C-alpha cells in the first residue's frame, strides 16, 4: 500500500520538475507553487489517513469478534478500493474466523495476486488454511517463501515443520529464528526441553 503512495509522490515530483523545466525563464514564486501542490499532498494525506482508519476499525472489530461489523466495513472498503491487497487479507481473516476455509483461501489468493510481489503476511495466513486442509507441502512452501523475504516468518516455518512431525527441520528453523531474536525465551525454552512445541 505504501509503495502505491510513494508512486503518487514520485508523480508529483515529476510534475513539479516538468513545471520547472517548461518555464525556465520565469521566476518562480514559492507561494504559487505551493498553491498548486499542497492540495495534491492534502488529498493524498487524507486518503492514507482514511484507509488507515478503516483498517484500524476492522482490526478492532476482529479483536472483539464482531464479524458482522467487520464484514460490512471490509466489503465497503473493497468496493471503494478493489485493488488494495491488504483488504483481501482482512477479508480472509474474517472468513477464517468463521471456519470458512475455502473462502478464506480465495481471499488470500486474491491478495497475493493483487500484490504482484511476495506478500509474506498473506502467504503465512494462506499456509494456515493449507494446514487445515491437510495440504502440508503447500503450507510449508508458502512459509519458506515468506521467511525468505521476512525472517520473522522463520518461527512460523519452524512451527509448520513441527505440525508435519519433522522435528529436525523445526529445530533448524528455530535456531535460525534465534539468530535474529536471541532473547526469545519461549523458543529457547522449547529448544532446551527438546519437547514438541505447543
Domain 1-22+31-117 adopts which CATH fold?
1.25.40
Digit-coded pLDDT (tens) for 43-100: 656 666 667 788 888 888 888 988 898 888 899 889 988 999 999 999 999 999 999 9
pTM: 0.71
The Cα–Cα gap between 12 and 17 comes to 9
Extract the runs of DSSP E, i.e. beta strands, from 45-171.
none
Q: Cell numbers at residue 100, please?
A: 470458512
The boundaries of every CATH 1.25.40.10 domain in the chain are 1-22+31-117
CA 49 vs. chain centroid, Å, equals 17
pLDDT digits (tens, 9 = 90+) for 62-72: 889 888 988 88
- Note the CATH number of domain 130-198: 1.25.40
Amino acid at each position: 500500500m505504501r509503495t502505491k503512495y510513494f508512486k503518487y509522490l514520485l508523480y508529483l515530483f515529476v510534475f513539479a520538475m516538468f513545471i520547472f523545466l517548461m518555464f525556465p525563464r520565469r521566476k518562480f514564486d514559492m507561494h504559487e507553487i505551493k498553491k498548486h501542490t499542497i492540495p495534491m499532498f492534502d488529498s493524498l494525506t487524507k486518503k492514507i489517513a482514511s484507509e488507515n482508519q478503516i483498517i484500524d476499525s476492522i482490526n478492532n472489530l476482529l479483536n472483539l469478534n464482531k464479524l458482522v461489523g467487520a464484514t460490512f466495513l471490509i466489503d465497503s472498503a473493497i468496493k471503494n478500493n478493489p485493488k488494495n491487497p491488504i483488504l483481501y487479507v482482512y477479508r480472509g481473516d474474517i472468513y477464517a474466523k468463521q471456519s470458512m476455509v475455502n473462502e478464506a483461501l480465495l481471499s488470500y489468493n486474491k491478495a497475493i495476486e493483487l500484490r504482484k510481489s511476495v506478500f509474506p503476511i498473506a502467504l503465512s495466513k494462506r499456509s494456515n488454511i493449507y494446514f487445515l486442509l491437510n495440504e502440508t507441502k503447500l503450507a510449508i512452501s508458502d512459509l519458506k517463501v515468506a521467511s525468505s523475504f521476512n525472517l520473522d516468518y522463520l518461527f512460523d516455518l519452524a512451527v509448520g515443520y513441527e505440525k508435519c512431525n519433522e522435528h529436525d527441520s523445526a529445530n533448524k528453523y528455530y535456531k535460525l529464528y534465534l539468530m535474529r531474536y536471541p532473547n526469545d525465551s519461549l523458543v529457547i525454552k522449547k529448544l532446551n526441553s527438546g519437547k514438541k512445541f505447543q
